Structure formats: structure tokens, C-alpha cells
Chains A and B, each alone.
Chain A
Amino acid sequence: MIKFKITLLVLLFPVIAAANYAIVGVGEAELERDKIVFQKTSLPKDLTPIENSRIKKFIDTFKDDFSFYVDKFDVLDEKLFIQSEIKNNSDYIYWINKKVNILFSLRFWINKTNVHFGLSVYKVSLNQKIYETNGVIQQGKRLTSQVHKLADLSFRKITGGPSIFNSKIVFVSDRDTPAGNKIKDNIKELYVMDFNGENKKRLTYHRGLVISPSISHDGTKILYSLIKGGKGRKNVDLYLFDLNKNSARLISRKKGLNSGAIFSRDDNVIYLTLSHVGNAEIYSMSLDKRRLRRITRHYASDVDPSITDDGSKMVFLSNRAGKAMIYTMDPRATEKDVRRISYVGDYNATPRFSPDGQEIVFSSWLDKRFDLFKINPDGTGLSRLTKNFGSNEDPVYSNDGEFIAFANLMVESMYKKKQAIYLMTREGKVIKNLTQGFGNCQGPRWSRF
């Protein structure tokens, strides 16, 4: 398209030139990763080891946060630059020559027993200070939370958009199931963690199999399904966990499936799969009065709904073509504008919309394993994200759409397997294992704030 436009301009050029001015298009710019430096401009002497470690943790968390954006930023080590050559805190000429565009200038001082910080963010190319703040460095978990907030504010000043730094990921894990438990594979509980895998916290104690968690847009509630063997009854029931009250309540226990539930944009309605009528169909349910509205009506099974923020489009999985394929439809009425968008793949699963509704990521069975792919909602632009990296399922976009979290399964032997949650860019560049050494984890769902 760009080449076409350039060609067009070149073709039009002779005529344009006749009007005395000659305009020619240079074309689209290449992406340049912004070089970032975190510079300690003042550090108090005689710091205690605790104060020193807090300052180190403060800076390292800042650096780590920005390092996640591998396609946007190149976080450089301060030691690469000779401090004596820098004239002042914002020596633009020096940093321009070093091709550094974003400069974080950090000052620290001690007041009574508190360690204070002063943060200034400079956009070197503009010769401009774009953000400034100061405060007292917090302790423990509050320190990381404090830095994530500061990093997010700085990120917003630099890019104009939100970051992932304040976001959370919910997932299920068998981490706390006693070793040697014969039914270990059937016990997984609900957990929540920061976007970078830190601050993991267990939420449920069902001693059952928790599946398909989903977090509300306001970040206060989590929907999940529970499979728990009872006396004469084994059903897939739907629960709602309230993060403010730290408690769960039953939402739906109709016969069969009550699963794959997600929130609407206003968090008042949920979309879920129910099978009480015979085969699996997708319904919407009001959370206050539990009023049901049928969205799909087909003899085939319809599962795994994902809805755009404006509620005008739903993507789901159906075997109405004979095998599991991806379909889109308007969820505001029953069977409205149903359209098949995938025509290949032996078995496709878990289609999820990106936050802007422009892409759908899903997993597909290929070469005896699941791999991740993405496709446009109109069925075009099918592209592959993972390959030769175990079996990959359950993809979900980050709140800003720049990353995808997914469950990765590595089979080491007939009896040994490891399932972990990984993070990658939306282009498929794997960044980090978020649940290393935390049991077998799956079903990641990203918060939307």
C-alpha cells in the first residue's frame, strides 16, 4: 500500500511539478527502538544495606518494566556512559550524540529514616522534561506496586498510551496440591499475579479443578468454572470471585457445562456456554437477575465466546462444519450474521479478540501439538506465532494489546510434563516464563486496566 502510494506520487509528480512546487513522498518510516537510560544523578553517602537494596530494587523494577517492551525500547546500562562527560542532569547534546532518546534522571536522599526519590523524565529529541515527581520509597510489595505506577505514568507521558505495568493476570495452578496426590491432575486452584509474574497469590481453596478464569473490566471480580466430584454428581459449575471481599459465590449450576464465561464491557452481563438443553450453546446472563438470553441456536456445539468491547461482535468456536472452526457473529441477537472465518486446521481452539477488536488469536492443532495463530475478524491475515516450542494453548491479549500470554506445555517424558504461562509480543517474540517453578499452570486471563 505504501509502495503504491509512493509510486502514485512519483507518477503524479510531473504534473505536480508544473505548479512550481515539486512534492515527493519519502514513504513510511522505519521503526526505531527508543534508547532509554536510567541515570542516578545523586546518591546519599553512608547508606545502610537495607536502604541500598531498596534503592536498587526501585531502579531495577523500573528498568525491568520498560524492558518488557522489546519492540519499543532498548534499555541501556548506565555504566555504558562516562559520567564525567555529562555536564548536567539533562545534558541534551551528550545524550543526542549517544542516540539516547529517553532519559530517566533519578535522585535519592535520606530524610530522617525515609529514603526519598526524585524522578525526572526527559525526551531528549524534544529537549524537554516530560514528567517529574518525587516521594518516599515504599517497602516490600508496596515498593514494586509503587514503581509499576510510576513506570506507567512515565510510559503514558512518553507514548501517550497505557502500559501493562499495573495489570494483573489470573491463572490456575496445581502448585499447592500435595505431592503424591493420586488425583493431582484433577486439582487446580485459582491464582493472581502481576503482569511480570511477581506477587503470586492463591485465591481459591476448592480442592477441585478450576478452569477458564476471566477477570472483570474493573478488576474486582473473577469468573471461573469448577469441576468437583461430589456424591453422585460431577458438574462444571460457574463461580464468581469477589477480589474486594476475597470470597466466591455460585453463579450457575445448570446440568452439564456452565463454563467459558466472560464479562461484558460494563461487567453487568456475562457470556457463557451452557449445555442444559442438550448440546453446548452460548448464552448471555445478567448478573443481577440471572436472566438468560440465547445467542447461538444450532445442532452443533458452540463454545468459547470472546466479545469486542463495543459488544457488536463475538468470536466463538463451533463444530457446525464438522470440526472445530472459528466463527464470528453479532451477539445482540440469536444466530445473527454468523460467519465462518477459519477454513484450515484440524482442531482450532480458544479464539480471543485483541482489545481493539482488530485481531483474533487462537490455538490450532498442527503437527501433533497446539500452536498459536492470529487472524483478522474478516478471515484474512492468518499468521503463525509459535513453532517448535512445545504445545501452546489458551492465548490472551494484554490490556494494551501489545502482548499475548499463553499456556505452554513441555513434555519431558511419558510421565513428566511441565505447563507454564509465558509472555510474548503480539508478533510472537517470546519474552518470559511467568510461572517458573510454580507447578503446572494454565488458563491465563489478563486484566483490562
Chain B
Amino acid sequence: MTYRHEKSLNYFTGISFLVHLLIFILFILFSNLSKNQKIEFVEVLPAVRVDVVAMPKLTLQELKNIKVGDESPPPESKPNDKGSGPEFLKKGKKKSLMDLLKKQANKKVGLKPSKVKKSGKTSTGINLSELILEGNKISKGSAIIGTRAAQANTEVTKYVSSLPDFVRPHWRLPSYLIDLDLNCRIRIFLNSRGELIRSEVFKSSGNKEYDQRAMSAIKLSQFPDPKGDAKDLAAQGKIILGFPL
């Protein structure tokens, strides 16, 4: 029993020795082989993105003609076209709790004086940058579904955001003004039929001719009938058109 045990021990020790020897030989062989391999160096250069793959076939003039051809004609500003404008939601006549909520909702986005950047006051004494800055704030909502405050807001939004389409066909500048990067804002007063009662410069561009051309564009425009909350806004001259922004 002991003899057989000793035999198997020697046997396995020998096998183990041979296996290790084989591994050693293979290691030596591979290490020698790898020494003979050529080492290649790859120069890493910064990548360059090339978007153009060929010289343009069309000239600027040809591209302009294509663009002009593709453009749909600007909306004709005829007096009878008022009905063709976007339709607006009707406003509820009675004041209700929802209206009070609307006022509260409006207050929530009020401006925090500490965060307002200093800027010049407008001709009406209102700090314009404050109005714009308010657009950069997001207030946390408290309701899962929209209230009528939101609906009323949408109503005004729809009306006011439609106005540029009626002014744009008349908003033209000569080359010597178009490159000056000017900006003016015009306050407009509209009656319930969308007719311009008056307009005034809310913030001047500093260039009299530029302001005057913006005023002319407004005078030539035919606006749609304001509906709902937009009616009050338009009548009180609380709509301001930016030329260009």
C-alpha cells in the first residue's frame, strides 16, 4: 500500500515537473519570437473634420433663386383677411376663482429685484431687460392639469405670436440700415377689430430712420381681431413688437 502510494507521488511529481518545463520552454520560445517582431510607431495626429467633400456645383445666385422659388408667398394683408387668421379660444365672461388663480399664477413669475441686470429704462419708464429676464425663469407648477390661467395665457400667446406674420411683409430696410444690427421696440394699441389706434416707440434703436421704418411697417399691417384676454391687452397698448427682436 505504502509502495503504491510512493509510486503515484513520484509519478505525479514527474508529470508536474515536465509540464512546468514545457511551459518554461514555450515561454522562452515565444519571448524570442516576439523579439524578432517589428515594432511599428503610429504618429497620432489631431483629427480634422471635413464637412465639404466637393466644390459646390451651384452658385450663390442659383441658390438664391431656388430659395425664392421655394418660399411661399407672404400673407396678403387685406382688410377682409382678418377671418383667415388663427382662431382664438373664447374667454369666459364672468370672473371666477380661476381668474383669481390666474393672477396668483402671474405673481409667481414676478421678478426678483436682486437678480435683475441693470439696463436702460424705456421711454415709458419700464425696464425692458426685466421683462425679458422673466422669460428665463421656470416656476414649479402645483397642479397636475392646466388651469384656466394657462388657457388664457395660451389665448394671448396665440394672438400675439401671430402678429409678426402680418407685419413681416412690410418690414423692409435699405442696405445701409440692414447691416447696422439695430433693434427697436414699438408699442401698439389695437381696437377690438384689430385696427391700429396708435403706435409709439417703446425703445428706440437710436436711429430715427430705423424707428420710422418699423412704425411704417406697423401702419401698413392689417391685424386680426383680438379675442378674449388679448382684446384687453391690445386695447391697453400692452403689446410690443420687436424689430427684429
The closest CB in chain A to the CB of B213 belongs to A125
Q: Are A428 and B240 in contact, CB atoms less than 8 angstroms apart?
A: no
- What residues of chain A have their CB less than 8 Å away from a CB belonging to chain B? 2, 5-6, 9-10, 12-34, 69, 71-72, 101, 123, 125-126, 158-161, 340, 343-345, 364, 366, 373, 382-387, 427-429
- Once A26-B167, A31-B175, A71-B175 are accepted as A-B contacts, the answer to whether A21 and B126 lie under 8 Å apart by CB is yes
B99 on the A face (CB < 8 A): no
Asked whether B242 lies within 8 Å of A24 as measured between CB atoms, the reply is yes
Interface: B241 (CB within 8 A): yes
Within 8 A of A (CB), among B34-67: 48, 50, 52-64
Q: Does A344 contact B176, Cβ atoms closer than 8 Å?
A: no
- Write the chain A residue with the least CB distance to B103: A18
Separation of A165 and B132 alpha carbons in the complex (Å): 44
Rounded to whole angstroms, the CA-CA distance of A5 and B163 in the bound complex is 16
A17 touching B160 by the CB < 8 A rule? yes
Known: A16-B132, A19-B111. A5 touches B53 (CB 8 A): no
The stretch among B8-16, B77-85, B149-157 that forms the contact with chain A is B149-157
B174 sits at the interface (CB 8 A)? yes
Residues in B whose Cβ lies below 8 Å from that of A29: 171-173, 178, 213, 217, 243-244
Q: Is B130's beta carbon under 8 Å from chain A?
A: yes
Chain B residues whose CB sits within 8 angstroms of the CB of A125 once the complex forms: 209, 212-213, 216
**What are some 8 contacts across the A-B interface (CB < 8 A)?**
A6-B164, A13-B135, A16-B132, A22-B239, A26-B242, A31-B178, A383-B60, A383-B63
| B233 interfacial by beta-carbon distance below 8 Å | yes
Q: Are B244 and A21 in contact (CB under 8 A)?
A: no
Knowing A34-B174, A427-B61, say if A23 contacts B131 (CB, 8 Å).
yes
Inter-subunit contact B212/A19 (CB<8 Å): no
CA distance A279 to B167 in the complex (A): 61
Residues of chain B lying within 8 A (CB to CB) of residue A25:
164, 241-245
Chain A residues in 8 Å Cβ range of B109: 15, 18-19
Count of A-B contacts judged by CB separation below 8 Å: 175
From A373, which residue of chain B is reached at the shortest CB distance? B55
- Shortest distance between the CB of A326 and any CB in chain B (Å): 12
Q: Does B123 contact A (CB under 8 A)?
A: no
Instruction: List chain B residues, Cβ under 8 A from A344.
Output: 52-55
7 pairs of A and B residues whose beta carbons are closest in the complex: A12-B135, A159-B176, A32-B172, A25-B245, A29-B173, A72-B175, A25-B242
Q: A24-B161, A25-B164, A26-B217 are in contact. List 13 more A-B contacts (CB 8 A).
A: A6-B245, A9-B242, A10-B161, A13-B161, A15-B109, A21-B126, A29-B244, A72-B174, A126-B208, A126-B209, A382-B52, A427-B60, A429-B61
**Docked pose: A23 CA to B130 CA in angstroms:** 12
The answer to whether A21 and B242 have CB atoms under 8 Å apart is no
Q: Give min CB distance, A191 to chain B, whole Å.
A: 29
Task: Assess whether B105 is interfacial by the CB under 8 Å rule.
Answer: yes
- Would B130 and A19 count as touching, CB distance under 8 A? yes
Q: Which residue of B lies closest to A126 (CB)?
A: B209
CA of A344 to CA of B52, assembled, Å: 7
Measured as residues with beta carbon below 8 angstroms from the partner, the interface class of chain B is: 35 or more
**Distance in angstroms between the alpha carbons of A29 and B233 in the assembled complex:** 26
Q: Does any Cβ of A come within 8 Å of B168's Cβ? A: yes
| A22 engages B156 (CB within 8 Å) | yes
Pairwise interchain contact A27-B55, C-beta atoms closer than 8 A = no
Chain B nearest CB: distance from A429 CB in Å?
6
Q: How far is the CA of A340 from the CA of B52 in the complex (A)?
A: 13
**Nearest neighbor of B173 in chain A, beta-carbon distance:** A29
Whole-angstrom distance between the alpha carbons of A15 and B131 in the complex? 9
- Whether A30 contacts B157 in the complex (CB less than 8 A), given A15-B135, A16-B135, comes out as no
Residue of B nearest to A426 (CB): B60
- State A129–B110 Cα separation when bound (angstroms): 48
A18 contacts which of B61, B105, B245 (Cβ < 8 Å)? B105
A158/B176 in contact, CB under 8 A: yes
Bound CA–CA A26/B126 (angstroms) = 21
Interface residues of B in 12-28 (CB under 8 A from A): none
Q: In the complex, which residues of chain B have a beta carbon less than 8 angstroms from the beta carbon of A27? A: 164, 168, 171, 244-245
CB neighbors of A among B85-105 (8 A): 105
CA of A30 to CA of B130, assembled, Å: 29
What chain B residues lie within 8 Å of A71 (beta carbons)? 175
In the complex, A30 Cα to B208 Cα: how many Å? 18
Q: Could you tell me the distance in whole angstroms from the C-beta of B67 to the nearest C-beta in chain A?
A: 13
Q: Is B167 within 8 A of A383, CB to CB?
A: no
Cβ of B238 within 8 Å of any chain A Cβ, yes or no, is yes
- Name the residue in A9, A10, A21, A428 with the highest tally of chain B Cβ atoms < 10 Å from its Cβ: A21
**B contact residues around A22 at 8 Å (CB):** 156, 160, 233, 238-240
Docked-complex contact B173 and A31, CB < 8 angstroms: yes
Residues B241 and A15 in contact, CB atoms below 8 Å apart: no
Chain A nearest CB from B237 CB (Å) reads 9
Across-interface contacts of B153 in A (CB, < 8 A) = 14, 17-18
Residues of chain A within 8 A (CB-CB) of B217 are: 26, 29
Q: Does B137 contact A (CB under 8 A)?
A: yes
Docked Cα-Cα span, A382 to B55, in Å, equals 8
B227 within 8 A of A: no
Give chain B nearest CB distance to A48 CB in angstroms: 39
**Are B157 and A13 neighbours in the complex by a CB distance under 8 Å?**
yes
A24 CB contact (under 8 Å) in B134, B164, B176, B212: B164
